[in-house]
Every structure is written in structure tokens, then in C-alpha cells.
Structure 1
Amino acid sequence: MTLLFGRRARLRWLHLIIGGALLMPYFLAAMVVVGWFHPHTELFSSFSQQLTAFACALPVAAVTALFGPARQLSVAAARALCGVPGDRPLADGPARTRQARVRTAGWYTLHLALGGVISGATLAVPPLAGTIAVLPFSRSVRESRTFGLPEAMDRPWILVLLPFVGLAILVAMAGCAALAGALLAGRAPVLLGPTPQDRLAAAERRAAELAVRNRLARELHDSVGHALSAVTLQAAAARRVLDSDPDFVREALTAIEETTRRTVGELDSVLGLLRSGEEHGATGPGLDALDGLLEHCGVPVSCAVRGETGTVPAAVSREAYRIVQEGLSNALRHGGHGVPVELRITVGAAELEITLDNPLPERAAVVRPGGGRGLRGIAERAVLLGGRTQAGPHGDGGWRLTARLPLGTRGHPRTSEQENR
């Protein structure tokens, strides 16, 4: 009995009655039109005319479902009343594609058609069943012109069965309503679920959001990670010579101050992007800010620049700055304070080339748990611009990081060659 009269069955029954109520304006308008062709017939006296009006009303309802927020309203009603399985999601938002609108029209027509039938049965069947059930107890009802029984049926054993017949009619009507509600619930994910175009649009939105998050994560990693590495090593070096070399300690504290001040500004910029949720208008230091970075990076750097860095596009310039910053951070982290780094920047006609060389320490560096993401982030920055990177041992005990970034239009990403450091 739960399947027929449980909470889910009652909600689905209510959903069908709402469909019947939505059908009424179309049905009444169709009855008026049908009545024009039968002027001498009473409007609601002919079942054939009602059936014709019902059939004419459904196409009109389907057409109206092609416009407006029909899918949003249908989805809200189906979620609240239909009991759609949770593993079969329904679509959100209005129908923007032709396929989505056609599916919505199909759902709306099915809902109104089944709702009209079940609503009509809900109005007509209970009084009929009740009358049949009371026939054995009321001779006046049995002899009435409205519901008179044939003499052949006016027998005791037949009268005894009539209450059960009335109850069976009610149960049959409840079963029909339950079947119609289950049919709607089963078709809802198909007709109101996301179309392939909806899934593609959702995937594109998720990809765009993920790209923004990855970009901001790289910004935080490169700026804050570099600053923390530089500050930590500067402080450690200053602590070791605190009593013997106060001038070096003073220089180290100045470098720490400049590094943290610059990093706080970069952190505010990244957090501003996070708060606004926008990637447009992205700002950050470029190649014109390299002097400040090299001065307080914590390692001695010899820098050679060929070409005009001012002609480099802003987006490429920002990514190049971050690549240099992360390369210096790696050199500082793995080589330690005082390890020389050679930086070469070449601005060509078609691409920008960045090369960082530094010696590897004789003693293996301590790698932080879980490994780093620096080289991976460098590769991602280059690939997004259509460039490539290469990192690994080079020459006699050295390490080389090379990045090539195109200066023209963005090309197809190429494979990045790198080794775990």
C-alpha cells in the first residue's frame, strides 16, 4: 500500500494534479474552438468533443513550452514532487539550445497529458466508487433514474459485492496515478536532464574556473614560496655570523625587509583576484621588475640581457618574471646561500628565451615532504603561452633551466621536457 498511498505516491499525485490544472486554460480554449464547428451541441455534453479538445490542447501547450522559463519551473516542480533519483541529475537554468527546448516541450506535454487524465479521474472516480459502495444500503439510490440498477443485478449476492467493487475502483485509480507518477519520474532525467550541449558548457565553465585557480595557485607558490625560501636562508646565514660579521647581518636583514615588502604587495594582488573571482585585468611584476628581484633574491646572480625587454608583451613578461623567480628559488633552495647563478635572457624576433645555470651542491639537498611543484608550475606557465621548458643536469655538475616563450600569437602547446629535481 505504500506504493499507492505513501508519501512519494501522494507527492507524485499532487504533481499530476498540478499538470491537470496547467492544462485547463489550453483545454477550455480548445473547447471554444471545437464548439464553433458544432454550434447546435451543448459545449460540455459530448465526450467526443471533450476528447477532441484534449487532443488539440496538447500541441498548443507544447509550443508554449518552447519559450520562457518552462524548463526551470518544470525542474523545480519535478525535484520537489516527482522523487527523481539522486544519481540522475536534472538541468539547471533555462533551455538555451534547440534540443533542450524540444525536450522541455516533450516533458511539459507529457506532464499535462497525464495530469489531465489523472485529474479528471480524481474528480470523477471517487464519487462513482462511493455511490457503488452505498448501493446495498440505499434503495432510493438503487431505484433512482441517475443510478438505477437493472433488475437482473438487484440481487443480494451482487449487492454484497458492490462495496468491494467501489473499493477496487479507488485502488485501481490510485494504481493508475502511481504508474503515471513513476512514468514521469523515469522520464524526467531524460527530458529535463542536461543535454550534451549543457554538459559541454558546464565542462567549459569548470575548465575555465580550474584554469583561474591553477593560475592563482602558481602565483601564490612562486611569489610566497620564493620569498619564504629567501628569507629563511638569509636569516639562517645572518644567525651564523651574528657576532663575527655585523655588516653582513645588516645586509641580510635589509634583504629580508625588501623581500617581504615586495611579497606582501604581490600577495595583495593575488588575493584581490581571489576576492573578485575575475581573471580579467590580471596584474603582476614583469621583466622590468627583475632588478629588484635579483638584488634581494638571496644568491649572487650574473644577468645578461640581449634585446629589448620593453617590447615583450605584458602577459609574456609577467610569466617570464615568475619563471625567473621560481628558477632562483630552486637554486637557492637546492644550492644554498652564496651559490652563483647565471641568468641569460634573449629577446628574439619570435620568442623569448630564459636560461638559468647554477652548480649543484656536493651534498644532496634536503627535499621537503611531498616534493615541490616549482618545475611543474614553470612548465604549465610556458605551455599555456604555447612555449616549452627543459630542466635537468647540464655540463660538469651543473643544473640548467631553459624556457622558450613565443612572442606572437598563442600557438599549440608542445610537450614540456623536465626531470624531477
Structure 2
Amino acid sequence: MPRLLAPLLQAATYARWLHLLTGTVFVAVVLLVYPGAETGRPLWWVVAVSAALDSALLGLAALLPATRRAEGVLAGLLLAPGREETIGVAPSAGWRDRGRTAGWLLARVGLGFAAGLVTVRGLTTAVDLLTAPPWGPLLVPPFCLALLWLIVLAGRLQLALAVRLLGPSAADRLAAAELRAERLLERNRLARELHDSIGHALTVTVLQAGAAREVADPAFREKALEAIETTGRQAMEDLERMLVLLRETPDGAAAERPGLDRVPALFDAARAAGSPVEAAVDPALAARLPGVVSREAYRIVQEGVTNALKHAPGTPIRVRAAVDAGRLDLHCATALPAGGHRQGRTGRGGRGLRGVRERAVLLGGAAEAGRRDGDWVLSVSLPIRLAE
């Protein structure tokens, strides 16, 4: 019994009922204004005239973009308070929206007119039952309950039609889902960029500051401070590029990302931090690589150098980049500390190595990281097509 009565005690039920009755009012006004719908005409003729006039007027109204917005606002307020986003309040953006708006108007008026007739006829019948003793008054409560449940079902049906016809179409929902996925991928890419760039800068800065504190040589301290300043400026430039992308500012120069031609500065910062770098990377190769491969290759090398500085400071870092059989092979190796374990890392790696694998997979390549012959080795292979 509570479940049977619960919908009848909700304000939304009567708000939907009011929304349904507006369809009846619209049909009644059309019939009153039209001079040929006077009393005495056959019922089928009146219905046919009403349907034709209503369809014509509603079709013309649906051509106006603002009609869809007005119907969406009204339906959101009366049919589904608090759920306006599922119905939509945007004006028509094309002929498909206009057609769906016309379908909604016809369905709304038709269903509303039927609900209005049921309401009027039901109230009349209830009054007749009250004056029909002895059993008539006893039938009024169940009759009214059935009438109200018809209104509840009609309101739910009209809500479903509003969501389907005034809300986003299947194509719109698919486009929105693709847009959300694209934005999520972009956010993940920016997160990797920030992790690689800022993580590298902080690692170099911490190592340089620690070395400057331990070494009493003023010249070494001066060199360490210069390296900290250079690394900090590069990190600020990278951060500014990320902020430009996040703001969606159409500033191509400011949003330019570093490529493989920037690796010499990366190696200089590592050497200044006290780790010798043996590099076999030709910066001129960046001009022949596709832009996205050059940029991702730089971030991969940066992550390899950062890991070496973080977990094996002071040990030599060996970096190699070579093109072989249509693939760019990146190799970064550093000797493991005593005991054969990297400090603070497990064999599976952290977020940085996971980001390297994601970069490689997105470019159709593969990445491996692990112990090999007493070294910690990061190897990445990327398919490429060199520019002529």
C-alpha cells in the first residue's frame, strides 16, 4: 500500500499533470479560434481539423531555434525538477534538432489532450458515482486512485519523451563521450609532461644544492648555483607551456614543446649535478624525425636521466639514440648501486616509467625497464618514418 500511494504524494506528479493539461489548453484554443469548428460538426471532422491545424502550427513553431530552448526549460521545471541537464535547454542547432522538437511538440500536445479528456471525463464520472446510491459512493475512492495512476503513468511517459526528444541524441552523446575521452587523454598527457619536466628540474636542483653545501670550493658553488638557475628557468618555460595548453590559448609559439634537439642541455644539467654522461645522440636527428616522435623521445630520455640522477647519483649515465630498420631505438643505462637495487624503487617502476610505457604504446612502440648485466636499463623502440 505505501508503494501504491507514494507517487500520489509527490509534488512532481501534479507538476507533470499541469504540464500535460497545457496540451489540452492548446487544442481547445485552436478549436475556439478556428471558425469552422462550431458545434454540430461530426466528431471525426473536429478531430481531423484539430490534428491538421495543431500539426501545422506546431511544425512552424519548431522551426524557431528558441522554441526548443523554451520547451526544454519548461519541461525541466515541471517534468523533472533538478534534472534539466538530461532534457537539455539549448536552442536548435540544426534541422535534426528542429525535427526532434516538432516530434516533441506533437507528442506533448497529443498526450496532453488525451490526459485532459481523461481528467474531465474522470471527474464527471466521479461526481456521477457520488450521486448513485447505494454502491456508487463506495466506488469513488478506487476510481479516483485508478484515475490518478493514469496521470502518473502519463507524466512518466511524457518525461521519457522529453529526455529522448529534447535531450541529446545518440550522436550527440557519442560526440560528448569522445570529447570527454579526448580531454581525459590530454589531461593525462599534460600530467606526464609536468611529472617529467618538473621532476627532472627538482632532482637536479636538490643534487646541486646538496653538493654545493658539502663542497667548500667557491668556484664549484658558483657553478652549482648557475646549474640550478638554468634548470629552474627551463622548468619555468615548461610550466608556462603547460599552462598555455590548459588555458587553451591559441599561442603556438608559447605552446611549443621541446624535442630531441634539446638533449644536450639535458646532459649538461646532469653533468653539472655530478653524474658523467656518455651520449651517442645526434641532435640533428630531430630535424628528420616526425615532431611528435621527437618530442616524446625527449621526454623519454629525460625520464631515464632523471631516474639515474635520483636513484644512482654520481654514477655514469649512458644514453644512445639510433635509427635502425625504420625504428628509433632509445637506450639509457646506469650502474646499479651496491647491492644491485635501485634506491626507493621496485622492479616495476613508478609513475615515470609507467608514463614512458604509455608514450611508447601510443606511438605504436614498446618500452622495457629492468636490471641487465649489473645496470639499470631503459630501452624504448618507436616506429618512425624519416623525413627526406
The superposition leaves residues 239-288 of structure 1 with CA deviations (integer Å, 9 ceiling, x where unpaired) of 222x3x33322222221111111111111111111122779874111122
Q: After superposition, where does 1:286-305 map in structure 2 within 5 Å?
A: 286-297=259-270, 298=273, 299-305=275-281
Any idea what the Cα deviations from partners look like across 1:316-363, whole Å, max 9, x if unmatched? 111111111111001111111x21111111145623221111111115
Does structure 2 retain, via aligned residues, the 8 Å contact 1:344–1:354?
A: yes
Task: Identify the match of residue 199 of structure 2 among 195, 204, 225.
Answer: 225
Kindly indicate whether residue 381 of structure 2 is the aligned counterpart of residue 408 of structure 1: no
Aligned 8 A contact 1:89 1:189 in 2: yes
In the other structure, the counterpart of 1:331 is 308
Which whole-Å CA distance do the structure 2 matches of 1:49 and 1:172 have between them? 31
Contact kept? 1:382, 1:403, Cα under 8 Å:
yes
CA distance in 2, matches of 1:92, 1:386: 42
Tell me which residue corresponds to 1:81.
78
Q: Secondary structure at the match of 1:308?
A: helix
1:6 to 1:347, Cα distance in 2 relative to 1, 3 A: closer
Structure 1 residues 104 and 237, CA, compared in 2 at 3 Å: closer, same or farther? Answer: same
Structure 1 match to 2:12: 8
Q: Which residue of 1 aligns with 2:21?
A: 17
Give the structure 2 partner of residue 257 of structure 1: 229
Question: In the TM superposition, what whole-angstrom CA distance separates every residue of 1:18-58 from its partner, at most 9, and x where no partner exists?
Answer: 334555687689x67xx5xxxxxx64432332222244456
Answer whether contact 1:284 1:318 (CA < 8 A) is retained.
yes
State the 1:122 CA deviation.
6.6
Structure 1 CA distance for aligned equivalents of residues 266 and 177 of structure 2? 39
Matched, 1:311 2:288: yes
Cα displacement string for residues 201-253 of structure 1 (whole angstroms, at most 9, x for unaligned residues): 22211110011101110110000011111111121122222x3x333222222
Residue number in structure 2 paired with 1:374:
352
Of 263-272 and 276-285, deviating more is 276-285
- Max Rg structure: 1
Deviation at 1:173, TM superposition (A): 6.5
Distance (whole Å) between structure 2 residues aligned to residue 5 and residue 327 of structure 1: 66
Secondary structure of the residue that 1:303 maps to in structure 2? strand
C-alpha distance in 2, partners of 1:316/1:28?
72
Point out where structure 1 has 5 or more consecutive residues left out of the alignment. 36-41, 137-156, 410-421
2:262 alignment partner AA: A
User: In the TM superposition, what is the alpha-carbon distance from 1:7 to its structure 2 partner?
Assistant: 2.3
Equivalent residue for 2:370?
392
Say if 2:45 is the partner of 1:45.
no
Q: Does the CA-based 8 Å contact 1:12-1:82 persist in structure 2? A: yes
**Cα distance between partner residues in 1 of 2:45 and 2:147:** 24
1:129–1:170 CA contact under 8 A, matched in 2: no
Q: Distance in 2 between matches of 1:379 and 1:402?
A: 10
- Code of the residue aligned with 2:202 in structure 1: it is L
Is the contact made by 1:308 and 1:347 (CA closer than 8 Å) also made in structure 2? Answer: no
Q: Which moved more, 1:14-23 or 1:372-381?
A: 14-23
How many residue pairs are counted as aligned between the two chains?
Answer: 372
**Cα 1:43–1:3, aligned 2, differ >3 Å: closer, same or farther?**
same
Distance 1:3 1:289, change over 3 A: closer
Query: Match of 2:382, SS?
Result: strand
1:105-134 per-position Cα deviation (integer Å, ceiling 9, x unaligned): 5543331112123446778987x699989x
The SS at the match of 1:344 is strand
Does structure 2 conserve the Cα–Cα contact (< 8 Å) formed by 1:255 and 1:296?
yes
Q: Secondary structure at the match of 2:305?
A: helix
Indicate the residue corresponding to 1:199 in structure 2. 173
The residue type paired with residue 338 of structure 2 is E
Which segments of 5 or more consecutive residues in structure 2 lack a partner in the other structure? none
How many Å separate the matches in 2 of 1:401 and 1:270?
A: 26
Contact 1:84 1:185 in 2 (8 A): no
The aligned amino acid for 2:177 is A
Residues 16 and 280 of structure 1, relative CA distance in 2, 3 Å threshold = farther
Stretch deviating more after TM superposition (339-348 or 203-212) = 339-348
User: What is the CA distance between 1:174 and its match in structure 2?
Assistant: 5.7
Q: Do 1:130 and 1:166's aligned partners in 2 also have CA atoms closer than 8 Å?
A: yes
Identity %: 38
1:159 Cα deviation after fit = 9.7
CA contact (8 A) 2:76 2:82 kept: no
| Equivalent residue number for residue 342 of structure 1 | 318
Question: Would the alpha carbon gap of residues 115 and 230 (structure 1) be closer, same or farther in structure 2, given more than 3 Å must change?
Answer: same
Structure 1: which amino acid aligns with 2:288? Answer: T
